[in-house]
Amino acid sequence: MKQASTRVIAICSDAIGETAEAVAVATLRQFELTNTEIKRIMNVRHEDEITRLMEEVAVRGGLVVYTIVQPELREAIKEESIRLNVRTVDIMGPMMQAVIDTFNDTPKRLPGLLHRLDEDYFRRIEAVEFAVANDDGKDVGAILKADIILLGVSRVSKTPLSIFLAHKGKKVVNYPVVPELAPPAQLREVTTGKIFGLHIDAGQLVKIRSERLKSLGLPIEAHYASLERVQAELKYAQSLYESLGCPVIDVTDKAIEETAGLIMQFF
Amino acid sequence: MKQASTRVIAICSDAIGETAEAVAVATLRQFELTNTEIKRIMNVRHEDEITRLMEEVAVRGGLVVYTIVQPELREAIKEESIRLNVRTVDIMGPMMQAVIDTFNDTPKRLPGLLHRLDEDYFRRIEAVEFAVANDDGKDVGAILKADIILLGVSRVSKTPLSIFLAHKGKKVVNYPVVPELAPPAQLREVTTGKIFGLHIDAGQLVKIRSERLKSLGLPIEAHYASLERVQAELKYAQSLYESLGCPVIDVTDKAIEETAGLIMQFF
CATH number assigned to the domain comprising residue A187: 3.40.50
Q: How far is the alpha carbon of B24 from chain A, nearest alpha carbon, in Å? A: 7
pLDDT tens per residue, range B198-235: 999 999 999 999 988 888 888 877 889 999 999 999 99
B58: in domain: yes
Per-residue confidence (pLDDT) for residue A5, from 0 to 100: 61
Per-residue confidence (pLDDT) for residue A8, from 0 to 100: 92
Per-residue confidence (pLDDT) for residue A110, from 0 to 100: 75
Task: Tell me, yes or no, whether A89 and A163 share the same domain.
Answer: no
Domain extent at residue B15: 7-115
Per-residue confidence (pLDDT) for residue A59, from 0 to 100: 94
A1: in domain: no
Task: Tell me, yes or no, whether A146 and A247 share the same domain.
Answer: yes
pLDDT of B58 > 90? The answer is yes
Amino acid making up residue B201: D
CB contacts, 8 Å: B57 with chain A: none
The verdict on A38 touching B (C-beta cutoff 8 Å) is no
Q: If you average pLDDT over residues B34-56, what whole number do you get?
A: 91
Identify which has the larger pLDDT, A245 or A107.
Answer: A245
Q: What are phi and psi of A150, to 5 degrees?
A: -100, 130
Task: Tell me, yes or no, whether A82 and A143 share the same domain.
Answer: no
Compute the distance between CA of residue A58 and CA of residue A84 in angstroms, rounded to an integer.
6
Least confident of B97-106, B138-147, B212-221, B234-243: B212-221
Identify which has the larger pLDDT, A39 or A197.
Answer: A197
Task: Tell me, yes or no, whether B137 and B104 share the same domain.
Answer: no
A2: in domain: no
pLDDT of B116 > 80? The answer is no
The verdict on B84 touching A (C-beta cutoff 8 Å) is no
Of the residues A1, A29, A65, the best mutation for testing chain B's interface (the one with the most B CB atoms within 10 Å of its CB) is A29
Size of interface A-B (CB pairs under 8 A): 178
Per-residue confidence (pLDDT) for residue B5, from 0 to 100: 61
Compute the distance between CA of residue A138 and CA of residue B179 in angstroms, rounded to an integer.
28
A168: in domain: yes
Task: Tell me, yes or no, whether A187 and A253 share the same domain.
Answer: yes
CATH number assigned to the domain comprising residue A41: 3.40.50.2300
Q: How confident is the model at residue A245 (pLDDT cuts 50, 70, 90)?
A: very high
Q: What residues pair up with A39 in beta bridges, in sequence order?
A: A10
Q: Are B231 and B201 in contact (CB under 8 A)?
A: no
Task: Tell me, yes or no, whether B155 and B193 share the same domain.
Answer: yes
Q: What is the dihedral of CA B235, B236, B242, B247, to 10 degrees?
A: -70
Q: Are A127 and A169 in contact (CB under 8 A)?
A: yes
Compute the distance between CA of residue B183 and CA of residue B175 in angstroms, rounded to an integer.
9
Identify which has the larger pLDDT, B149 or B218.
Answer: B149
pLDDT of B109 > 80? The answer is no
**Domain closes at, from A99, A115, A131:** A115
**Residue B225, SS3?**
helix
**Domain closes at, from B115, B139, B163:** B115
A23 → closest Cβ in B19, B42, B69: B19
pLDDT tens per residue, range A152-186: 999 999 999 999 999 989 999 999 999 998 899 99
Of the residues B106, B257, B262, the best mutation for testing chain A's interface (the one with the most A CB atoms within 10 Å of its CB) is B257
The verdict on a CB contact (< 8 Å) between A101 and B90 is no
Q: If you average pLDDT over residues A81-86, what whole number do you get?
A: 95
Q: Are A12 and A66 in contact (CB under 8 A)?
A: yes
Residue B239: partners with Cβ closer than 8 Å, 6 or more residues away: none
Output DSSP code: residue A183: P
Task: Tell me, yes or no, whether A67 and A135 share the same domain.
Answer: no
pLDDT of A114 > 60? The answer is no
Per-residue confidence (pLDDT) for residue B74, from 0 to 100: 93
pLDDT of B173 > 70? The answer is yes
pLDDT tens per residue, range A11-34: 999 888 888 988 998 888 888 777
Beta-carbon count within 10 A of A188 CB: 9
In angstroms, the Cα distances linking A48 to A16, A42, A112, B244 are: 18, 14, 20, 36
Per-residue confidence (pLDDT) for residue B245, from 0 to 100: 94
Cβ under 8 Å to A: B residues 104-143? 105-110, 112-113, 115-117, 121, 125, 128-129, 131-132, 135
Q: If 0-12 CB within 10 Å is exposed, 13-18 middle and 19+ buried, where does residue A61 land?
A: middle
Per-residue confidence (pLDDT) for residue B4, from 0 to 100: 45
Rg (CA), chain B: 24
CB contacts, 8 Å: A2 with chain B: none
Is B158 marked as a binding-site residue? yes
In angstroms, the Cα distances linking A150 to A143, A198, B136 are: 10, 7, 23
Q: How far is the alpha carbon of B184 from chain A, nearest alpha carbon, in Å? A: 22
The verdict on a CB contact (< 8 Å) between B33 and A105 is yes
Measure CA A82 to chain center: 36
A81: in domain: yes
Q: Are A200 and A252 in contact (CB under 8 A)?
A: yes
Q: If you average pLDDT over residues B8-35, what whole number do you get?
A: 87
**Domain closes at, from B70, B95, B115:** B115
Residue A169: partners with Cβ closer than 8 Å, 6 or more residues away: A120, A123, A124, A127
CB contacts, 8 Å: B40 with chain A: 261, 265
CB contacts, 8 Å: A94 with chain B: 89-90, 94
**Residue B126, SS3?**
helix
Cβ under 8 Å to A: B residues 147-186? 157, 159-160, 163
Q: How far is the alpha carbon of B157 from chain A, nearest alpha carbon, in Å? A: 9
Tally of domains within chain A: 2
pLDDT of B62 > 90? The answer is yes
pLDDT of A45 > 60? The answer is yes
A42: in domain: yes
CB contacts, 8 Å: A171 with chain B: none
The verdict on A69 touching B (C-beta cutoff 8 Å) is yes
The verdict on B85 touching A (C-beta cutoff 8 Å) is no
Residue A34: partners with Cβ closer than 8 Å, 6 or more residues away: none
pLDDT of A42 > 60? The answer is yes
Task: Tell me, yes or no, whether A131 and A231 share the same domain.
Answer: yes
Q: If 0-12 CB within 10 Å is exposed, 13-18 middle and 19+ buried, where does residue B183 land?
A: middle
Amino acid making up residue A4: A
Compute the distance between CA of residue B29 and CA of residue A113 in angstroms, rounded to an integer.
11
B239: in domain: yes
B2: in domain: no
Q: Angle B168-B143-B256 (CA atoms, 0-180°, nearest 5)?
A: 35
The verdict on a CB contact (< 8 Å) between B31 and A99 is yes
Alpha helices in A61-118 (DSSP H): 71-84, 93-103
Per-residue confidence (pLDDT) for residue A112, from 0 to 100: 65
Q: How far is the alpha carbon of A88 from chain B, nearest alpha carbon, in Å? A: 8
Q: If you average pLDDT over residues A37-59, what whole number do you get?
A: 93
Task: Tell me, yes or no, whether A81 and A102 share the same domain.
Answer: yes
pLDDT of A239 > 80? The answer is yes
Per-residue confidence (pLDDT) for residue B180, from 0 to 100: 92
Residue A250: partners with Cβ closer than 8 Å, 6 or more residues away: A199, A200, A201
Task: Tell me, yes or no, whether A104 and A131 share the same domain.
Answer: no
Mean pLDDT of chain A: 89
Task: Tell me, yes or no, whether A51 and A155 share the same domain.
Answer: no
pLDDT of A48 > 90? The answer is yes
The verdict on a CB contact (< 8 Å) between B16 and A257 is yes
Task: Tell me, yes or no, whether B111 and B146 share the same domain.
Answer: no
CB contacts, 8 Å: A129 with chain B: 159-160
Element (H, E) at A199: strand A195-199
